[in-house]
């Protein structure tokens, strides 16, 4: 009887805790909606304007003159593809640098892999600073330091990627089975041996998945970074929007969307194959 009463009390406490959590969440959501001016009437008022703007992005394409109209629409295709290639290479290099740095900092930032609390604290704070500062702010800093061009964009994306990847890698490290690590340690292995033989075989599929996912993000990010003069096709897109050349802007957006779609499909294919191989 006492056991049943204890279970009932525990269940009531759990339900009360859930209700309190939902109430706090609802209050936060309502406050956020108020601050963001998220009002149904305002949304309904603005949707037609959004549709008008999107309609202006698409140039008139006549059924009987499709090839001529598309050719005129993509008059700058060669230049845009060259800039897109720069954007893709920026994303690739930034992802590589950020992932490498995130992996190196992710091990000492894992509570279960480092014995020094000070080292853990410092590495965690470094990762937080790297990802807490918005990408565009890093880009502005590096544009001021190194001038306009892809270098500033690569450094900005790489630094933010380092912070994000380091956090993801550290959390993957903290969820491993510690028995292989303890076995290497008991055999007299060094800390590097513990990582190589006890940690990496367990987390490598996750690392690969996170890296491909980050590459997809950085391709989109490299386009936006160009808005502040950090190179790539983003600068051309910004100029087209600023000068109200909406047909050019839509053509560039279609190219970027097609590139992102192709990279997403390729990344998913490679990720699944590598994960199957490494698992």
Examine residue 93 and state whether it is found in any structural domain, yes or no: yes
276: pLDDT strictly greater than 70? no
The answer to whether residues 89 and 58 belong to one domain is no
Give me the DSSP letters along 109-148.
T-TTT-S-HHHHHHHHHHHHHHHHS-HHHHHHHHHHHH-S
The answer to whether residues 158 and 242 belong to one domain is yes
The answer to whether residues 113 and 232 belong to one domain is yes
The answer to whether residues 44 and 81 belong to one domain is no
pLDDT, tens digit, for every residue of 153-166?
899 999 999 999 99
**Domain with 261 in it: what CATH number?**
1.10.3720.10
Query: Which of 55-69, 100-114, 210-224 holds the top average pLDDT?
Result: 100-114
The answer to whether residues 221 and 193 belong to one domain is yes
pTM: 0.80
Confidence grade of residue 8 (pLDDT, cut at 50, 70, 90): confident
- In our burial notation (b when 16+ CB lie closer than 10 A, e otherwise), range 53-83 reads eeeeeeeeeeeeeeeeeeeebbeeeeebeeb
pLDDT on residue 68: 81
pLDDT on residue 5: 66
Place of tokens 């097609």: 258
Among residues 14, 43, 66, the one where a domain terminates is 66
The answer to whether residues 23 and 133 belong to one domain is no
Confidence grade of residue 275 (pLDDT, cut at 50, 70, 90): low
The answer to whether residues 46 and 81 belong to one domain is no
149: pLDDT strictly greater than 70? yes
- Exposed/middle/buried for 118, CB within 10 Å: 0-12, 13-18, 19+? exposed
The answer to whether residues 114 and 179 belong to one domain is yes
Mean of pLDDT values over 49-57: 77
DSSP single-letter state for residue 59: P
How many helices and strands in the chain, by DSSP H and E?
12, 0
If you compute the radius of gyration of the chain from its CA atoms, what whole number of angstroms results? 25
Determine the angle formed by the axes of helices 246-278 and 233-242, rounding to 10 degrees: 150
pLDDT, tens digit, for every residue of 72-104?
888 888 899 999 999 999 999 999 999 999 999
The answer to whether residues 181 and 273 belong to one domain is yes
Structure tokens belonging to residue 161: 């990627």
202: pLDDT strictly greater than 60? yes
The answer to whether residues 148 and 167 belong to one domain is yes
Examine residue 72 and state whether it is found in any structural domain, yes or no: no
Strands (E), 51-109: none
Query: Which of 36-40, 127-131, 258-262 holds the top average pLDDT?
Result: 127-131
Among residues 15, 36, 66, the one where a domain terminates is 66
Place of tokens 């550290």: 170
The answer to whether residues 166 and 202 belong to one domain is yes
The answer to whether residues 50 and 82 belong to one domain is no
**Structural domains counted in the chain:** 2
Instruction: In whole angstroms, give the CA distance from residue 262 to residue 219.
Output: 11
State the residue range of the domain holding 42.
2-66
């Amino acid at each position: 009887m006492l056991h049943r009463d204890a279970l009932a009390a525990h269940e009531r406490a759990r339900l009360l805790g859930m209700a309190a959590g939902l109430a706090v969440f609802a209050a936060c959501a309502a406050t956020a909606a108020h601050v963001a001016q998220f009002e149904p009437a305002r949304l309904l008022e603005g949707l037609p304007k959004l549709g008008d703007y999107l309609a202006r992005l698409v140039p008139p394409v006549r059924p009987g003159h499709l090839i001529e109209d598309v050719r005129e629409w993509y008059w700058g295709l060669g230049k845009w593809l060259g800039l897109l290639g720069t954007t893709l290479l920026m994303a690739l290099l930034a992802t590589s640098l950020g992932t490498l740095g995130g992996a190196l900092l992710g091990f000492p930032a894992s509570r279960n892999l480092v014995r020094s609390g000070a080292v853990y604290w410092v590495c965690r704070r470094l990762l937080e600073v790297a990802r807490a500062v918005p990408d565009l702010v890093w880009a502005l800093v590096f544009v001021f330091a190194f001038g306009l061009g892809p270098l500033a964009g690569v450094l900005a994306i790489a630094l933010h990627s380092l912070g994000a990847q380091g956090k993801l890698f550290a959390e993957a490290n903290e969820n491993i089975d510690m028995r292989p690590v303890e076995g290497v340690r008991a055999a007299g292995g060094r800390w590097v041996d513990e990582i190589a033989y006890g940690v990496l075989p367990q987390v490598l599929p996750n690392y690969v998945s996170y890296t491909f996912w980050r590459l997809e993000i950085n391709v989109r990010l490299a386009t936006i970074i160009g808005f502040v003069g950090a190179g790539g096709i983003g600068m051309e897109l910004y100029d087209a929007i600023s000068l109200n050349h909406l047909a050019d802007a839509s053509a560039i957006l279609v190219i970027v969307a097609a590139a992102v779609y192709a990279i997403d499909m390729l990344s998913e294919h490679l990720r699944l194959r590598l994960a199957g191989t490494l698992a």
